[in-house]
Structure 1
Amino acid sequence: MTRKRPRGVWSMGWACIACAASGRTEHVPTADDYPDTIVRRVRIDAGGGLGWKLSAIVTPREKTAPWKVVVVTGAPSWAEYWAPALAALPQDREMIVVDRPGYAGSEPVEYVGDIRVQAKALAPLLKARPGQKVLLVGQSYGAAIASLMAEQNPGKVAALVLLSGYFGESGPTARWLIGLGSRLLRVIPRDLRHAVIEVSGQPAQLDHLRAALSRLRIPVHVIHGDKDDFAPIEIAERLVAQTRARRPIRFERVAGANHFLNDEPVGPLLAALEGCIPVRKPFRLRLPRLPAMSWFGAPQARA
């Protein structure tokens, strides 16, 4: 039986402090709960010629799955909180969840504030096997970064999901935490410090997000809980309403859900993501209709 990872803002913050004190990069190492045939931690090279190594967790598969789900997490960026979702994923799906640059086991140690740089660094996650398609998921702060990744890598992303997206305006819980964190920047652990700085500096970068969304030709889905007091659903609704996209953006309101949609049980989350995968229509060969012929080879008159 797997242990329950700390959930919610307070418990995750305390887990981060405990993690920093112990020198771990994972609060509850995934290897303690899952064999590496179910959830495996890997290291990959960052894109953009940055020379960084990124840490991520993946679902190993012997056969190529038709769809690969790529998850860009929020702030703080801890892939391990998606481990239960990876473990519950069906065999015909693959998933990779990354610790973003500057967090957990990913390089660099320093803060990386520019979302365009992060998008370039994370581009290798979009590499797919032959015949495989990618569903790109941006969670919370990662929603803006995922949007840039999709726009910068045309043809590599089949559909984009903005999950509990954070778009520059905080709810009451986030405002209080950011205010407190800003006063304690010198003493709080690195990951919490980077999260506070990231969220505080995001509004100045939202033009990059809006421009990316307006240029995308792929399906875009927004999934948001109506009880989200960290990134209010009204802000996500306003972004969708104001974005002049090339195709309509689908908005899914999740009744009663808060900011952490990847909390257990993970069934509803996986079902919501599955609903964002385009359904391929079966191919039907249609032959042209020929005129009805008489016995003597001449077309019959129609009434």
Structure 2
Amino acid sequence: MVPAGSAATTIDLDGGRVRLLRSTARPGPGPAGTPLLLVHGGGTDNSAISWFHAFEAFGADRQVIALDLPGFGGTSGIEPAGDPRETADLTARVAGRLGLTRVVAVGVSMGGDVALNLALRHPGLVEALVLVGPGGLVPVLRNRRTQIAAWLPAQLPEPVLLAAARMSTPFVRAALRSVVADPDALPPQVVREFLREARRPDGFLGYLRYNRATLGPRSMRNDLQPVVGRIEVPALFFHGADDRWVDPEGSRRAAAQMARARLVLVPGCGHWAQLEAAGRFVAEVRELLAIGH
């Protein structure tokens, strides 16, 4: 799928090819805003799914660029690292390959974890942050029992896990109801692409690697709460109040520690808040861009 207002292209990187979606609108008169660099989430996500609305919403003001991470979408020939720090470094290499020296980094879920690491590891690149239900901000998953229950299956061999994921594809549509509070709020094109991504060979590999890298038996290995206060750029946390995948408390605590961060908690909204509450999301991002620049 190629969302309205975008075009698909690829770049050579790290011995493989990274698929990008880029806005097609030409910014209007006056100086163009800092480019948006968009990072999708995990599971059976890709750049076209998470950022379906973003190209038309923001492309008239600035460049909008979204990448498919290794193991997702149309990116090929690059082994998924799993570790969000390594993925942040790869994202920085993509920016460098495109000649981008400053970006507004936008990430959802797993991509929020990557965007936070991008700001911490490459502070000169990131001018502002938009974080939608971001991962990487809790010490444990709910409680110790849930933590070990998530960690144990992640230790199985990858062929076993991928086979189990393929067997679960008939239930992917039902799984959407755990991701969003109102499935009817999703554009039908997004639902169809979500199902296509789930059926893609090795479509779960990138997310499996992320889970292996971040899940520990007793705690999360990617908890950034101890260091997130170092981020000084303007930041927007946009989190569904009814998110069943990522606890909003992590966003609340992180925003309180960051000098220029603001939390928007969206009532009646689940994990894909940028899709479920698209109009509110666009308005809040526009406010951040106006304040931060």
In which range does the TM-score fall when normalised by the shorter chain? 0.5 to 0.7
Gap change, CA 1:79 and 1:171, over 3 Å in 2? farther
2:188 is aligned to none
1:219 is aligned to 234
2:273 is aligned to 261
Gap change, CA 1:178 and 1:211, over 3 Å in 2? closer
User: Which whole-Å deviations, capped at 9, do the CAs of 1:168-218 have from their partners, x for residues lacking one?
Assistant: 55579x99x9689858614124222432442354244325x3465233221
Secondary structure of the structure 2 residue equivalent to 1:146: helix
Segment drifting more, 145-154 vs 82-91: 82-91
Alignment of 1:189-208 (within 5 A): 189=166, 190-203=202-215, 204-207=220-223
Deviation at 1:44, TM superposition (A): 2.5
Once residues 195 and 107 of structure 1 are traced to their aligned partners in structure 2, the CA distance between those partners, rounded to angstroms, is: 15
1:228 is aligned to 243
User: Which whole-Å deviations, capped at 9, do the CAs of 1:117-162 have from their partners, x for residues lacking one?
Assistant: 11111114445879x9521112101112111212222332211122
- Root-mean-square deviation over aligned CA pairs: 3.4
In the alignment, structure 1 residue 52 sits paired with structure 2 residue 16: yes
Amino acid at match of 1:251: L
Do the aligned partners of 1:164 and 1:224 also contact (CA within 8 Å) in 2?
yes
Deviation at 1:54, TM superposition (A): 1.2
In the alignment, structure 1 residue 79 sits paired with structure 2 residue 47: yes
Flag the structure with more relative contact order, 1 or 2, with Cα contacts below 8 A and sequence separation at least 6: 2
Gap change, CA 1:268 and 1:240, over 3 Å in 2? closer
User: Which whole-Å deviations, capped at 9, do the CAs of 1:46-91 have from their partners, x for residues lacking one?
Assistant: 4xxx333211211024347323111111103401112333133351
Aligned residues: 238
1:145 is aligned to 114
Gap change, CA 1:194 and 1:124, over 3 Å in 2? closer
Gap change, CA 1:129 and 1:111, over 3 Å in 2? closer
1:41 is aligned to 8
Unaligned runs of 5+ in 2: 167-201
Do the aligned partners of 2:37 and 2:64 also contact (CA within 8 Å) in 1?
yes
In the alignment, structure 1 residue 95 sits paired with structure 2 residue 64: yes
1:104 is aligned to 73
Once residues 110 and 129 of structure 1 are traced to their aligned partners in structure 2, the CA distance between those partners, rounded to angstroms, is: 24
Once residues 122 and 51 of structure 1 are traced to their aligned partners in structure 2, the CA distance between those partners, rounded to angstroms, is: 15
Once residues 97 and 219 of structure 1 are traced to their aligned partners in structure 2, the CA distance between those partners, rounded to angstroms, is: 20
Secondary structure of the structure 2 residue equivalent to 1:83: coil
Secondary structure of the structure 2 residue equivalent to 1:137: strand
Deviation at 1:112, TM superposition (A): 1.5
Once residues 139 and 262 of structure 1 are traced to their aligned partners in structure 2, the CA distance between those partners, rounded to angstroms, is: 8
Computing the radius of gyration over CA atoms, which structure comes out larger, 1 or 2? 1
Unaligned runs of 5+ in 1: 1-28, 282-303
Q: Give aligned-pair identity as a percent.
A: 23
Do the aligned partners of 1:171 and 1:231 also contact (CA within 8 Å) in 2?
no
Once residues 62 and 248 of structure 1 are traced to their aligned partners in structure 2, the CA distance between those partners, rounded to angstroms, is: 30
Amino acid at match of 1:80: A
Deviation at 1:240, TM superposition (A): 4.1
Once residues 116 and 192 of structure 1 are traced to their aligned partners in structure 2, the CA distance between those partners, rounded to angstroms, is: 19
